[in-house]
Amino acid sequence: MSYVECSLTIHDLEKISCHVQYGETVRGDLGYDKLTEMSVDRLNFWVNYSVDNQANTNNKNILCEVTDLQTLGMHLYKILFADEKIRSAFAAMYREFINDYALDTTKRLRLELIFEENAKKLTGLPWEFLFIPEGGKLPSFDQTVKGVFFPGQNAELVLIRSVPQSKLVQQLKEQETPLRILIVICQPHGLETLEDKEINDVETELLGLEATGRVKVMPHRNVTYKGLQALLLNPNPDDPQPKPPHILHFIGHGEAGKIAVIMDTDDRDYKDVAFNKKTGASIENPVKWITSQDIVGLLPSGDNKPRLVFLQVCKGAAPGTLQSFKSTASVLVHADIPAVVAMQYSISNDDARLFAKTFYRCIADGEKIDEAVKAGRMELAKTLPAWEHPRFGTPVVYLQSNKAIVVPTTDKGGGESQRECAKCKTPNPISSKFCKECGAPLSTRAAVSAADQPKSQTAPLQERKDGVAENLIPFTEGSIGTRTPSVRFREKNDTDVSG
C-alpha cells in the first residue's frame, strides 16, 4: 500500500500552508472568522444534542440528518480552502491521485491537518465531518449538495489531525507483539454508576482478541492515583520481567479539565473525604479528581510511555465527561504521547464495542494508527442508515506520530501469525495477500470486495473506461481551470455518471 501525502499546516487563526508530496509549499489565508466560528459551534452543539437525546430518550423527533452533517462539513471545508491558492494546490494533487488510482488501486490519499501552538483553538473542531463538495466549490442555490465525507466515506481517503512531533516521539520505534493493553475502569463513590453491561462488553470484546496470540489485555478496576502510576510501569505485577503497556484504555468519569480516580489512603485529603461526617462510617473508593497535567506527571519517561491513550466515556458517566476527555486528549498529545483517542459525542454500547474491537485488531496486526481508525470508522458507518448518523465521526484521534505501535511477529512454535479474512472469517498467514478459502483480498482494515458492498457506503473506487475513478469526487473544469473528466458522487439509487 502506497500513499499520496498532503499536509495542511494551520499556523494560527489566520494563516495556513499546503504541502503536497514532492511539491512546493503554498501559503495562504485561513477562512476562519467570527460568523464561521459561531456557525460551526452551533451546528456541533446540535449534532451533540441530537445524538445525546436519541441515546437517552425515546424521542425520535430529535434527529440529526445527513444535511446537518454536510452543512457542518462544508463550513469546515470553507475554513481550510477559502484561499484560492490553497484550494488549487489541493485540487491539483487530488486530481493526480484519481488518475494514479485508476492504475494502482492500492494507493491511498492521506490528508494530514497539523495544528501549531497558535492554532490550538482549532484542534477541537469536529474535522471528522470534513465534507469535500463536488468540484471543490460550495454549491449554488440551484444545485443539489453532492460530495464526500473525507475522513471515511471512500476507503481510499484518509484524514488525520496532528501536532508537530517532538524529538522523543520521532525516536520511538515499533515494538514486537503481543500488543499490551492496560484497561483501567474507575467508579469512585458519589458519582453516577457506570453501566456494567457496557463496561463488561468492551472488556470481553478486547479479551477475546487474546485468542489471536498478538494481544495481551490486563484489566484493573478502581485504581488509585499511585496505583495507576505503578500499573503504567508494570500492568502485570506477577510478571518477573516488567513490561509497560503499549496502550492505556481508561473508562470512567470526567469534569472540566479533570478525570476521576480513587484516592490513596495516604493522600492528605483522605480523612476529609473517606468518612461520613455524620456517622463516621468509612466510604469505599473515595474520589480524587486529577487534572490533565497530573496525568502527564503520572506517565513513565522516555521509551516506557504508552504509545496510545484511549479515553472512553460509558453510559452513566458524569456530565461534562465528554468534553473533559476531549480536552485531556489534546493535552496528552502535546505531552509526547504519540496518539490519543477520545469520543466527541455520546456513543452507544454496541458502537463503542465495535470500534474498539476493529481498532485494536488492526493495531495488533501492525497497521498504522490512521488506518486502524479508518477501519473502525468504516465499520461504524455501515450501521444503517449508512453515513447518515454522526457515529462515524464520533471517535477523535490526536496524533504526534502515525507509526505502527507493534510489529507482528511469528508464534512461539515457529508458525506464522494469523489474520482473519473479513469476508469468510478463515484464518490466514499474516503475510498472505489473498484468503486461501475464498480468494478475497486480505486487509487489516477489514475491507470486503466491491461486489459485496452497497454502492452508497464504502465501496472501493471502480475504474471507468476513460481511466478515471468512478465514485471519488474530482475537481472539475471551472474549479481548477484545467480540463478534467467530470465525475459526480454516486448517491443512493443513483446510476447516472456524467462526463
Look at residue 470 in the predicted model and tell me its pLDDT. Answer: 42
Look at residue 471 in the predicted model and tell me its pLDDT. Answer: 44
Is the distance from CB of 213 to CB of 179 less than 8 angstroms? no
Helix axes 196-208, 349-364, angle to 10 degrees: 20
Look at residue 27 in the predicted model and tell me its pLDDT. Answer: 95
Query: What gap in Å lies between CA 8 and CA 21, rounded to an integer?
Result: 11
Residue carrying the nine cell digits 465495535? 354
- β-pairing, 406-407 vs 175-176, is parallel
Look at residue 398 in the predicted model and tell me its pLDDT. Answer: 84
Query: What gap in Å lies between CA 351 and CA 229, rounded to an integer?
Result: 30
Query: What gap in Å lies between CA 307 and CA 404, rounded to an integer?
Result: 9
Look at residue 48 in the predicted model and tell me its pLDDT. Answer: 80
Look at residue 231 in the predicted model and tell me its pLDDT. Answer: 92
Per-residue pLDDT of the chain (499 residues; tens, 9 = 90+): 678 888 999 999 999 999 987 778 999 999 999 999 999 999 888 888 877 776 655 555 557 788 888 899 999 999 999 999 999 888 888 888 888 888 888 888 888 899 988 998 898 888 888 888 876 666 666 666 677 777 666 667 788 888 777 666 666 677 777 888 999 989 888 887 777 777 887 888 888 888 878 888 999 999 999 999 999 998 887 777 888 898 999 988 888 778 889 999 999 888 888 887 777 788 889 989 988 888 888 888 777 888 889 988 765 555 566 676 677 887 888 777 888 888 887 777 778 888 888 888 888 888 888 888 888 888 887 776 666 677 787 888 888 877 777 666 544 444 445 566 766 666 665 555 566 556 666 754 333 333 333 333 333 434 333 333 444 444 543 333 332 222 222 233 333 323 3
Exposure letters 453-473 (e unless 16+ CB within 10 A, then b): bebbebbbbeeeeeebbbbbb
Look at residue 249 in the predicted model and tell me its pLDDT. Answer: 92
β-strand partners of 5: 110
Look at residue 414 in the predicted model and tell me its pLDDT. Answer: 41
Query: What gap in Å lies between CA 405 and CA 177, rounded to an integer?
Result: 9
The contacts of residue 45 (CB under 8 Å, 6+ apart) are none
Q: What single letter denotes the amino acid at residue 308?
A: L
β-strand partners of 420: 427
Look at residue 499 in the predicted model and tell me its pLDDT. Answer: 30
